[in-house]
Structure 1
């Protein structure tokens, strides 16, 4: 019996096992033959199964998880100025409504969480009552980790988003043209960058925070600090310790897919309409010299961006893979296009003078023409509410959530009409 198995497995005999059976005329031989076939089949099955698993994993065709995936519902988003963060805030608000979560909203008539002051827990409405039981925090604040942790649960997921400082500064210039002294005194962005210290005065640093290293400032650091290598490395390390994920606005769709995977959210949780964007006719063209000057003038932001741009793509390669990322980005864009066809009259943003429902009029600032949306007519009630949520400017959405969460408080005075007054 043993010699028959070795002959079958190693192929040492010039006769096949069935012939050996007849030759040996051993009645148990057929039983052994069947056992051998069974063992060979099982061996091949496990071998093939193992190879298939390796192929799927190496090509990133399917995510392989050892534990069930549960959506994270305790999330803090640091909303950085001029980094597509208004669109992310809308995503966060919609997610909060879907799961009936409690949002840490600005107290009283504040529109930001104390910004530009360094954040304190009492900037949150009813913090003294609710305590460390908020699920979502996403309004503008200047990050202060010890105070934020007083508001958010211990298992909170922290993330933020950065943008290339070159287009960011040009966007800031237009958006804050009338309110920032350094911008107001210069003719255009190229003139400002040709000699920024001519317009940027240290005495006005509180009013000029948008004019230099705004991302560095929003993370809670000194935007006028010296460009010292040791200092920068210490700050980058601290940000990595405080935040689980940093996204990149220049790759917004890719960022939303990474966010979806990391938080275990659905595709519709991260689908979006672009908010707080401006018309192209208000974009100023930067000269090549100005672009290089931004890297030097905003060197803290530039090094912050370079560092986390690298870690962003490294995170994608380690968790999703570029092949699956491309597929999911295409799915996201297809879903976005589908929802725009359902919801939007023009299927794109329109200028402030063409927004028919003034309740959907976004806040206008500086020399920018902030775009908004017109919704399709004759939508059923459920579809209308979903479309309204996706097109809702941040101030109106924040005011609505405030009224829902704090019905006995005085409503925030925004100075323009609101939707959902009878929601």
Structure 2
């Protein structure tokens, strides 16, 4: 868990700095490495210093238009760029006039362009340098075991079970609790608007195009017939889990240990990033995984005795 940022940014690992081990709450003497680290960070090879040997490295990417439209809304870019935008459609106005738009820092120190590339550690001044972008793509190929493509989530999850010790039941997704409550449908863009969006997010677009092709090469190697069978298994596991969650939700009193476990597992699935941060900080502190005493001396934003 990070201790490098505060308040609503507490789930971020040192952002906007590249990852450093000191961004995390130190582990107690009984633990030498992290076995699982699922946080929003700017990737650096230094993360290998804190992970257990043989750790699997996974990232996820999304189609540029869908991702940037979601990102534009989630990070309230209209507020940041309010002096530059006009009605009736501020998003399309932004794209139509993108060559006049400055690169303004968004809330939580997030960049206005190429957020995926910058999460992978590309420097802001290199986000339009095609040579630097290609070098970063080659680094990602070398460092990551799998790059999940959101538009092909089921296939990606099956491949995740192949490159890790996770089972199909482990990778079942019921709900995304971090989706913002804004209009979900993508806007219809003119060819010029779409090209402007791609050029504004050039590094993200190059990364997406490369790893989308990479994913399909892996699917081809895995076998389409075998993939179809595994996806059926995944959907069946998802259906079973959803029914179990719905079942315990309808019960006012839970006495069976199995029901309590199901309720707990379903609760974890529904946590947003703020709730998950609080829950796991408390649990890991209770179990003595953190060295809270040392953290209170070394962390930029020291946790309290409960890990918060």
Tell me how far apart the structure 2 counterparts of residues 273 and 292 of structure 1 sit (CA, whole Å): 34
Residue 330 of structure 1 deviates from its aligned partner by 1.9
Tell me how far apart the structure 2 counterparts of residues 140 and 412 of structure 1 sit (CA, whole Å): 18
Does residue 154 of structure 1 match 2:53?
yes
Residue 301 of structure 1 deviates from its aligned partner by 0.8
Tell me how far apart the structure 1 counterparts of residues 273 and 246 of structure 2 sit (CA, whole Å): 18
Does residue 410 of structure 1 match 2:305?
yes
User: Which of 82, 96, 100 is 1:194 aligned to?
Assistant: 96
Deviations 1:202-235 (A, max 9, x none): 6x48977442111110011124426344323222
Distance 1:130 1:191, change over 3 A: farther
Q: Is the 8 A contact 1:118 1:141 kept in 2?
A: yes
Residue 334 of structure 1 deviates from its aligned partner by 2.4
Residue 256 of structure 1 deviates from its aligned partner by 0.7
Tell me how far apart the structure 2 counterparts of residues 179 and 107 of structure 1 sit (CA, whole Å): 30
Q: How large is the Cα RMSD of the aligned pairs?
A: 2.8
User: Which of 253, 258, 263 is 2:159 aligned to?
Assistant: 258
Q: What SS is found at the alignment partner of 1:113?
A: strand
Deviations 1:82-122 (A, max 9, x none): xxxxxxxxxxxxxxxxxxxxxxx112753221122221101
Distance 1:282 1:314, change over 3 A: closer
Residue 267 (structure 2) aligns with: 388
**Which segment drifts farther, 289-298 or 207-216?**
207-216
Does residue 310 of structure 1 match 2:194?
no
Residue 171 (structure 2) aligns with: 270
Q: What SS is found at the alignment partner of 2:25?
A: coil
**1:52-131 aligned within 5 A:** 105-107=1-3, 110-127=10-27, 129=29
Q: Is the 8 A contact 2:98 2:196 kept in 1?
A: no
TM superposition score normalised by structure 2 = 0.80
Deviations 1:237-257 (A, max 9, x none): 111121121111111111111
User: Which of 172, 178, 201 is 1:298 aligned to?
Assistant: 201
Q: Is the 8 A contact 2:78 2:85 kept in 1?
A: no
Distance 1:193 1:264, change over 3 A: same
User: Which of 35, 41, 53 is 1:135 aligned to?
Assistant: 35
Give the unaligned 5+ runs of structure 2.
287-291, 293-303
Residue 183 (structure 2) aligns with: 281
TM superposition score normalised by structure 1 = 0.59
Deviations 1:46-77 (A, max 9, x none): xxxxxxxxxxxxxxxxxxxxxxxxxxxxxxxx
Residue 383 of structure 1 deviates from its aligned partner by 2.1
Distance 1:168 1:192, change over 3 A: same
Tell me how far apart the structure 2 counterparts of residues 280 and 168 of structure 1 sit (CA, whole Å): 14
Q: What SS is found at the alignment partner of 2:274?
A: helix
Give the unaligned 5+ runs of structure 1.
1-104, 346-373, 414-423
User: Which of 221, 241, 245 is 2:146 aligned to?
Assistant: 245
Greater Rg by CA: 1
The structure 1 segments of at least 4 consecutive aligned residues displaced by more than 6 Å after TM superposition are: 205-208
Residue 126 (structure 2) aligns with: 225
